[in-house]
Chains A and B, each alone.
Chain A
Amino acid sequence: MALTMFDKIWARHVVATGPGGHTLLYVDRHLLHEGSAAAFARLARSGRRVRRPDLCLATADHYVMTSPGTPAPDGEIATMIESLSTHTSAQGITLFGRGDARRGIVHVIGPEQGLTLPGVLLVCGDSHTATHGALGALAFGIGSSEVEHVLATQTLWQRKPRTMRITVDGRLSPGVAAKDVILAIIATIGAAGGVGHALEYAGAVIGAMSIAERATVCNMSIEAGARSGMVAPDETTFAYLRGRPLAPAGEVWSRALADWTSLPSDPDVVFDREVRLDGDAIAPTVTWGTSPQDALPITARVPDPAAIGEAGRRRSVERALGYMGLTPGMALSDIVVDRVFIGSCTNSRLEDLRAAAAVARGRRAVVPAWVVPGSGLVKQAAEAEGLDRVFREAGFEWREAGCSMCVGMNGETARAGERVASTSNRNFEGRQGQGARTHLMSPAMAAAAAVTGRLTDVRALVG
Chain B
Amino acid sequence: MRRMSLFNVTSLTLVAAFLYLPILLLIIYSFNESKLVTVWGGFSTKWYGELLRNEQFLDAAWVTLKVAVISSTIATVLGTMAALVLVRAGRFIGRTLFSGMIYAPLVMPEVITGLSLLLLFIAAGVDRGATTIILAHATFSMCYVSVVVSSRLVTFDRSLEEAARDLGCTPWDAFFSVTLPIIAPAVIAGWLLAFTLSLDDLVIASFTSGPGATTLPMRIYSAVRLGVSPEINALSTILIGLVSIGVIAASLAGKRSART
Are A and B interaction partners?
Answer: no
Interface on A for B, CB 8 Å cutoff? Answer: none
Interface on B for A, CB 8 Å cutoff? Answer: none
